[in-house]
Amino acid sequence: MKQGALIYDPCLDRMDIRFGLNTYLGGLHCGECFDVWTGSHWEATRIEKGEDWYLVGISIRNLVGLRVRIYN
């Protein structure tokens, strides 16, 4: 399990997870699952893209900076 923060990579036009200063997952794809920290607990979700990127079951407008953990 790794923890990091969601970022947007404009070169890939994808959301990504930043684990450290120079360590990234390499871009998220639709349907990828991970947990997001809601402020009080971890909640399982998956990322999708419609008009913009969003998390299924999580109502938040700006995903950038959200604390996440992924099992890989």
- Domains, in order of start, for the chain: 2-70 (2.40.10.390)
* Cα–Cα dist 48/36, whole Å: 14
Query: Residue 28: which residues within 8 A CB-CB, separation 6 or more?
Result: 14, 15, 16, 17, 47
Strands 33-37 and 14-20, by their bridges, are unpaired
Question: Nearest 5°: CA angle at 68, between 65 and 70?
Answer: 145
* pLDDT for the residue numbered 72: 72
Which pLDDT band holds residue 24 (cuts at 50, 70, 90)? very high
pTM of the model: 0.92
